[in-house]
Amino acid sequence: MTVMAVGFGLTVVITRLYLMASGYPKIGGSTYHIAHALFGGLLLVIACLMLLLSAGRTALHTAAVLAGIGLGLFIDEVGKFITTDNNYFFPLAAPIIYLAFVLIVLIARYAARTRVRPPELVLADTTEQIGQQIGARLSPQRRAGLLTQLQHLDRGALGPDLIELCDALTDHLNTGHDDGRPTLTTRIARAATRVETALLPLGLLRIGLIVVMICHAIWTLVHLILVGVVVYGWRLPWNQLDRMLDVSQHHGWKSLVGLGIAAGAELLVGIGYAAGSVVWLRGDDELGARLGIWSSIISLAVVNVLASYFSQFLTVFTAIAEAVLLWLLIRYRARKRLA
């Protein structure tokens, strides 16, 4: 799910930037127009075929990448599907694309959370994972993880046949052999961890995150004041800045209601970042990071969804920056707990 979400987001951003830089070229000449939504649909079909025809983890990951790219290419043209004049630049298209991405990310994060599940379901999931590894090299870490899942099963809730299956799977994993060499994925993960530790030690990362959150809170306050000044008719001396800030132009009252909700959510985000910074500076790292994480989630899931209606491309870059900030906050909290 995470791989698909990343592929989806990157595809939309790269496609929009490429089309803007190349002058929106068309494939097909004067008679035909081969929209890139068709290529997206083709990749989605290929991803479905891979999942139906193969059960291996390699096929699963490849299908996730293809599905993400295919979904990105398809939904990038949603403006053409919801308007009578096939308007690719219809303002509502950006919130739909952004909201679809946020929903996929939220589903991915929910799926990754540890939940209390019936032992039969856990055993079925473990059996499927072991089956996907047949014929492939099983890393020691992966083997240990699967063994841990089997060892923590509540066998008292399982029938005799399921207990026998559990024992057979445990024996299969215990008798497996490997050459002791880590897989390519493991080596890349270890290298990334070493680079992260060297370039971003916890102390430096903590200071950097606090500074960014303080700057974000200040910018949010300044931005809301400037928007209020322009919307209420007071003009700034810079015409270009006026046009950037007065996002209410040529929009109806429904859009302005959305803008008001976005402004309220943005104010809440600024307060959250400011409170998180103060708490963090006073020594409560856990609460400070948590406030920063929730402020970032509100900004990504509410503010940017509504703001993308008024400023499509600017919101993309804002969302990327805030997603990086959210990831760094989550990484800090995870590393702090392991320290």
pLDDT at 336 over 80: yes
Q: How would residue 250 be classed by pLDDT, with cut points 50, 70 and 90?
A: low
Residue 81 Cα distances to 56, 78, 88, angstroms: 36, 5, 9
Question: Cα–Cα distance between 137 and 146 in angstroms, integer?
Answer: 14
pLDDT at 272: 93
pLDDT in tens, 98-113: 888 888 888 877 776 6
User: Given a cut of 60, is residue 242 above it in pLDDT?
Assistant: no
Q: Residue written as tokens 């976005």?
A: 262
CA distances from 175 to 6, 124, 135, 150, 167 (A): 37, 21, 15, 15, 12
pLDDT, position 45: 92
* 283 and 316 Cβ atoms separated by less than 8 Å: no
- Give the mean model confidence (pLDDT) for residues 38-58: 84
Put simply, whether the predicted model's pTM sits higher than 0.75 gets the answer: no
Q: If you write DSSP's letter for every residue of 154-202 in order, what string do you get?
A: -GGGS-HHHHHHHHHHHHHHHT----SPPPHHHHHHHHHHHHHHHHS-H
Backbone angles phi, psi at 30, to 5 degrees: -80, -20
In this prediction, residue 74 carries a pLDDT of 92
Mean pLDDT (whole number) for 127-153? 77
Out of 69-73, 165-169, 244-248, least confident range = 244-248
